[in-house]
Structure 1
């Protein structure tokens, strides 16, 4: 009985009970084992092959017990102990299953000489030896209750198998033989077609042999004595004949293997009428080549032959190290005639070497003849030097670091992978930060030529955690092709960023995974993060967390700073806080709408409800954030039906319909704009612009004309609002000017005039004329100004002090006559009155001629100097006298008193009397609802438009809380 086979059988039965096959795990139940009495004895795993001084080689993966010292462990060896360096072993934790600890009992052993090449087998892995004796050695041997010998090394049992010399029958002697282990009734039928090689020259096709019936070898697995009875009565054709070839005369002549203990095992058959070379004569037997061993064929089923008819005798091919295992009884074909001709059979379960690949076939040497077997009928076997394998199904990748098998990934059927090493019944592969194990039985041999994305060395950047089962894609073909999976909860390293993907190396192949399926570890010095789910943004200004917004899952954002367990981010004009634990690492490349140069304006909005923020960088709008209801938020600029904003340093857009301008009040005016403009015409509004008005020049003002198209008007001529001297002067030429001619006209005296275009003259004509209806209508229409970044200040609500520093006011007043250096006074006057300080300054500068008017410089009244900076009481026709009397009456005997008094006057008579904006001061639209124009600060239609430049200058560069009041006509 083959000892190894018996041991393997017993262990296989043990594993069936345990129902688990692993590359490293120990299968025994810990409770049934003896454990060492000494608590200093621990179990160790050999982590790399170890050669002892006495010639015993211990394989990687072997378990042994020992006592740890500083630089080594001491283990039991025979009846004494030896030391093994620490770097060759790893301590096994108590939580793992452990093998039997066996005490060395000298009385149960006997010293035996163990020959070179003796093998030692333990429980795991049971198919490969753990001990190999490179030298002959004396060693204590024990025999178990079943009669099987074993030794103790490291207090672990190792069953021994000594080398067996090839034992063949003596010449001319009878042999003991046993029949074929295989079921010969399952012999494959002959080929239905000739062999076609996929990647080399094709066989010639020809007639096909008839289907052969299977035969049965009744002597299989029996021991018997060969008899010469038939030869006693029938002439022996081999008597006195020496021949290197023989011809088979019977069907299915069995080929025997006789290597094990003299027992014959049927391993294949030869075909009737086929001729075979033989290695040598062996009495009543032929010795033939059978793979990488000798086979034996009974002579009495053959006759001598000269071999001249053989066309496929092997002359040059050699067997490779690689073998296949037959999945059934496999027919071997000769194709040398151009037709497929069976000439042998290899029984199921046999290992046989191959010569070379041949498309859908393997080329082999069978009894020194070149033959071919179908690949589909055999399973190619791996050798230790193999570098690649092919997954024949979706194969699980296992992690075995904790001593138990844990699925961590999956290989895809049909894909080819590099492997790190052979590991018994397993492939060891690179799997991120550790080794993974794949069952060999679920794979087949591959050359690796199919792999286009191989990468054997790489730098790991940082780890990620799989949030779900992650598919790994190969992109080397230009299309995404899945070639692996990573199980949820598995940690795996990534190599680099690739847009919305991470680049990884999976089983030494470059792959790509979706960023949305993993969480990459974050570090305190990171600049960007990715939200793993929809996350709230909190405001912490009050000392409590208040939700003010939300970010979207799988979107990435810039980090302003690390804040313990939080990320601090930019949120409008302040900061927001987001939980770190629900975020992962991100890169700048993931954010297409990252802000680079935009800044918030002074305009703000307030949200009506929860407002979605969109990214438009891809050409389609993609939500990436939200603002909570009633949130006040700054805007960057107007964008049609949208507001452009900055949200966590990303450029976003919100619908105007979802928000309201913050600080903007809309005042309804119960009159139409056209009716209001019509009423306004009764007050003879003035203009120095004369927008869209008709302009005329008398014929003799022209120095020259170019037909009816253009002409040159001489210096010193009046350009009037109509054809005649009775019309107002709009412009007085101070030099020769070119004008464009529109048409001729006649005055009441019949004199000729030319109508000229308005664009021939400067923007400001320098003379006041009656404004026409179109110009009044244009200047009264709020829609012409409200969205202009400068003109919108016509609607600034002047009832609020905004906090412009006195230093800024002094800059505005510098060099302005008596008002120079009065910034502090204006600041105090505006605060006291509760009005806008810039309005107060600009109003004073306008009315005082920049601080240089007579009233601004001071006028004597009753021997006292009075000041009037706002033109209060300075009526037409008596401006200085009347203005000075009003100042005397009000007691404005100092510059400060005049400024403070002017502020109170503006407050009471305009700002707090319904005219709280520059627009309302000029047009007083509420008065037009029930009556005619009244209480209007100026007659110039462009007055409000001209007052705003100071406001734009200061408010556009500072952080001020501004409010607006915009009229809405019926």
Structure 2
């Protein structure tokens, strides 16, 4: 090793520099030799026969040779100084090469079996002690797959630390997870979110400064870094503690605010979350709760969060007449003791008080989110945020509350008949026709109620007639996003695999008591505020997380009842299957696009070989055109840049408009669509397109779509190179 490299490593260790990855430190190669002379061997200062003699070595003496010259001299150490002897008087044993030592940042591991600690890295070295299974050790270096570790244990009331070598075969990186009370964190810089509490995989989301995340778990990884598990857009992800600071939820007196400009209502505390709707300039909203600069409000039937910088505090006049919308019959329950005001304003006089948990029946809703009610003969207004929809007093009988890990006596014929009745009444084609037997088979195999499984599929796929179920054989919309419902959805190879996938997914998550999604192994219900925010204390079962519709559980139960009337005695004695299968991985499948689909990068997009994208991968520059070829179920996209083909996973489909704009990709939304020779219905039909088939719309030189003069027909290019015309009303633009 050169002096400079040795100096760098020593200095790096002294000042705490972490050498990226692992630094391999290799000692120089030496040889052992024995002096082979009749008397003594002269040791000289230099590699010359006439050089000064500094001593002698007896026959049989062992020496270490550091190098040999072509002129016949060997370099040794004599009295700790460099010296030389004639090579011809040495007898060499096999050369010895010192072990490679890989240094790395201090890492914690856990033993996966009872493990011997040895005095050295060799399998024959002395055993120091045995480390029990499940114990924590730390390490900073290894050779091959043998780690030098430190292990601390108690002996006679004192901590004892031993250091030695163990096999890496029986080590796993040690992460600790601690559940915490719900905590808000503010991003203090652009923060990356990861699927685990480390940076081993690429970040799946990036959040700008000033957004708020909510956490109920702290993780310390094997490197000692602290991370928080946060909820973001329906997913559990991890953020590094260094990227956020703790914040708090604050309540204050009801205050009204007026929008200074057109702005947005977001699903949570930040502009990184889904934009629910536009709030026009001049709109008046009210709030009494905030986290940092994000205030909770209700507007147009939706509850969300506003950036307070876009608003000014506003005093609402009690004389001003609010527009009122008449409501259909509705039932609501009061969340807390509330005042009935004379007008729809917190400053208006109180007419009476409604106690908590009393039902009210509003007749109108005002433009600023209040409800008009009649209480004890007095007509007044209650604030929308203080009443909730849903039915927490629901009768807990029937399919909505059975354990879905039990078996049903339903027959395949009963399931098939229910689906057949729908098909006959609507005339639609269904991929669920004749699948009753498969639901029963999968239900028994996976320990899931087959009647529920069929009802769930029927509800989510409109009896197997939805476009996603017909085009992708995906009965449950798995993988679909609001922004990309069809392209985002997983593609299954057949209906049977789709049924089996949902059974395993539900059993391993929503019906698994050890999973964070579990809130009871039954359908249950979700209770919402008038602004559509879930009330956790009054929400139960799968409906807690699975669907935003508070009546989702009721609707699934209704399908079950129609297939087979509920029999309480059966479920009182039905056995519960508590086994938990492994959560299924993303199924194999791809969307293949027509030949020349043009896309434009709206930001830099990393690309390379599939599965090998890193922070250092090359990037498609913003504004660059490229060709879209394929999208896989795990969201890898095959692209052509120039004449070469690559892959990227840098396009996030839940917010694709930030990454890409696709110019000419269409999807047929009507079965057997005619391709016409000219843009009219009387022209000759060249061929027919199937439902959900992707098409290439012809682009003009200026990049706009080729349409007829009426703008009602697209010109498309077929796989054989010919062109034709299709009615634009039957083409859905994708990723535009």
Instruction: Please state which band the TM-score falls in when normalised by the shorter chain.
Output: under 0.3
Which is higher, the Rg of structure 1 or of structure 2?
1
Please report the TM-score for the alignment, with normalisation by the length of structure 1: 0.19
